[in-house]
Amino acid sequence: MKLGIDGQKLPEVKKRGPLGSLDYVKELGLEGIFFSTVLDMSPTLDPGLLREIRAKADDLDLYLESGLGKINPFCSAEAPELRAIGEGDIIAGFTRMIEASAAIGCCEMWVSPGNFKGEYRGRLAVDRFRTDVSWDEQLQAMGNVLQKLAPVARAHGVHMNIETHDEITSFEILRLIERVGEDCTGAVLDTANMLQRGEHPVMAAQRLAPFIRQTHIKDAFVGRAPGGLDFQPRACGQGVVDFTAILPILAKANPGLTLSLEINQSTDDKRRQPNPRQCIQIDDPIWRAGHPDLNARELEAYFGMIDAGEKRVATGEIPDWEGFESAQYGYPTYENQSYGLREATNFIQDSARHIRAICAQKGIMLP
């Protein structure tokens, strides 16, 4: 296994470009980079540039991963580049991306089932609870897109890997894999996103383990708050995700799996207002009805995990929401917009240190 980073959140990734970002990843002491889509390496799918990126990654002994992007047709307008690369035909665009990525040996390709809208609080921040189209209709449409792309994926030895993104459950990912075929689909395990769906990260990892082909390694704090639960992304080890349990599951299922850290994007790279609290409305009847796969056993384990996290806050082992946001990393608040390159680098280094320590403890080989 190798420990690298998600390219979209890498500090100064756009300023450095893909080639310069490879140098920076090496400088950080990491072993690879996971570009969200092949268009992040070359917006025009220039074969010469893509080959140059591949060659440089190989020279630096870094893994290189890629993706397709959002495959939910009801979100296509939010990613116009996917249609543009197909000159108006989004299936042609996805096909060209698969072909270009496979040509440089990037055959594990990330796909996402929706977008997170941080400007909205609670369940309406995710496409699962759209009011113009049901989630079941969206899942059906995503399966249709994956089935249209399946022949070209099979022809090029590509797996289209569905992320445990903010809006989808591990149960639904398993059903999509079963529908389309595990020979051309798989899963990207984001170790924290399933918390927003009321799933226990360890249980979700166990369910998906045979199909996990890429990762986003991320932690988060979840605590009780007005309206339900607050979700706050954190450096690994500062939240509720049990990496001591998850990493051995991943290593056993796929010893060659890459571990790609995902961090909060620095405010130097994306100027933004303070992040709103991501409220999980777990007590809301509409929210509950929208998660028919959740069972009492998993919910009990989920709340036990939250209780354990709140005990760590009470003892001072980890900070509460405000303490982590303002003091430890200088996360943006209304008074403080200092989560820049230095703070993002600290986030990366602390996360890498935590993951490496657990791997060493568990006998999981990293370079």
Rounded to two decimals, the pTM is 0.95
Partners of 69 in the β-ladder: 111
The Cα-based distances of 122 to 48, 178, 196, 307 in angstroms read 44, 30, 10, 21
Give the number of other CB atoms < 10 A from CB of residue 345.
15
The whole-angstrom separation of Cα 37 and Cα 65 is: 9
DSSP state letters, 132-164: SS-HHHHHHHHHHHHHHHHHHHHHTT-EEEEE-
Mean pLDDT within 173-202: 98
Per the CB < 8 A criterion, the answer to whether 221 and 303 are in contact is no
Mean pLDDT within 239-243: 97
Q: What is the CA radius of gyration of the chain?
A: 19
Confidence grade of residue 271 (pLDDT, cut at 50, 70, 90) = low
The whole-angstrom separation of Cα 250 and Cα 1 is: 10
Q: Give the strand pairing for 219-225 and 212-216.
A: unpaired
The per-residue pLDDT for range 57-115, each reduced to its tens digit, is 999 999 999 999 999 999 999 999 999 999 999 999 999 999 999 999 999 999 999 98
Quote the pLDDT of residue 342.
85
The per-residue pLDDT for range 251-267, each reduced to its tens digit, is 999 999 999 999 888 77
> What domains, with CATH codes, occur in the chain?
2-362 (3.20.20.150)
Structure tokens at 4: 């690298």
Structure tokens at 147: 């089935």
Query: What is the chain's mean pLDDT, rounded?
Result: 93
**Torsion from C-alpha of 324, 325, 331, 337, nearest 10 degrees:** -140
Confidence grade of residue 270 (pLDDT, cut at 50, 70, 90) = confident
**3-state SS, residue 129:** helix
Quote the pLDDT of residue 272.
56
Mean pLDDT within 306-311: 96
Per the CB < 8 A criterion, the answer to whether 108 and 83 are in contact is no
- Edge-first strand order for the sheet with 159-163 is 212-216, 185-190, 159-163, 108-112, 63-70, 32-34, 2-6, 258-261
Quote the pLDDT of residue 117.
86
Quote the pLDDT of residue 330.
47
User: Of 60, 88, 69, which is closest to residue 4 (Cα–Cα)?
Assistant: 60
Residue 331 has pLDDT above 50, yes or no: no
The per-residue pLDDT for range 24-34, each reduced to its tens digit, is 999 999 999 99
Structure tokens at 266: 């620095």
Q: Specify the amino acid at residue 289.
A: A
Quote the pLDDT of residue 336.
46
Secondary structure letter of residue 42 according to DSSP? -
Residue 248 has pLDDT above 60, yes or no: yes
